Amino acid sequence: MPDEGTTRGGMSDAARGDGTADAQVTVVGHADLTPDTLRLVESALHRRLERLARGPAVVRSGAGSALAFGRAARAAGRRLVVAIPTRDGVPAVPLRPDRLATGELLTLADRVRLLEYDPADRDACVRADERMVADGSLLLAVWDGSPSDGRDATAHLVAFARARGVPVDVVWPEGAARQPRPASSPSPARPPRPRARPGSAVPSCRHVPRGRLDRA
């Protein structure tokens, strides 16, 4: 597992950043942080932002790492840009797990950026993150080192940034943890069909003419 501020290679890519005065810092990371980890990550991100050159902090709205970054950016006096989803130019309703966090991020934001993507489409969310990462000068990745899966694409976005020469700083403080995944519940059993009593007739369905619907 990568330590705070290091990559798997043992050295923070941020140490090789260009350090420009108006460098855009973007964050990606896990959304399923435990409450204690949310505080740990917020503190770690705040320390990072305090040490970096001034510039906008950009995040796509959501729970977990995004919210921790928004709080840290505000505490560090950074200009916070929050990207929200739109459909055909109209802001889209966030997914239920992200609604409270999105509301708080919008109150913290200095600027709101509209991104055309479907928040319910994982691939569309990843493409939105890729656009933000490609526009940035530094990526802060709240990442425990696990591979991408159907729910989380942090590892993919780290690789995406490195392939494009964007410096990456991995943030995963000591003691950090993610929420356990809920166990998949079995499909409810189909109730047995009632059996007709011997000698009883099966009732027929009443015919309803087309175009008419009787309501109870």
Structural element, H or E, at residue 84: strand 80-87
Over residues 13-36, the mean pLDDT reads 75
What is the per-residue pLDDT across 92-111, written as a single tens digit (0 to 9) for each?
999 999 999 999 999 999 99
Q: Could you tell me which of 79, 78, 90 has the C-alpha nearest to residue 114?
A: 90
Q: What is the pLDDT of residues 99-147, one digit of tens each?
A: 999 999 999 999 999 999 999 999 999 999 999 999 999 999 999 999 9
pLDDT of residue 124: 95
pLDDT in tens, 163-201: 999 999 999 999 999 999 776 544 444 444 545 455 544
Neighbours of 117 (CB within 10 A): 21
Beta bridge partners of 178: 33
pLDDT at 184: 53
| Mean pLDDT, rounded, for 56-80 | 97
Q: What is the value of pTM for the model shown? A: 0.75
Q: What share of the chain is helix, strand, coil (3-state, %, to 5)?
A: 30, 15, 50
Name 64's Cβ contacts closer than 8 Å, sequence gap at least 6: 29, 30, 31, 32, 33, 38, 101, 142
Question: Which pLDDT does position 195 carry in this prediction?
Answer: 53
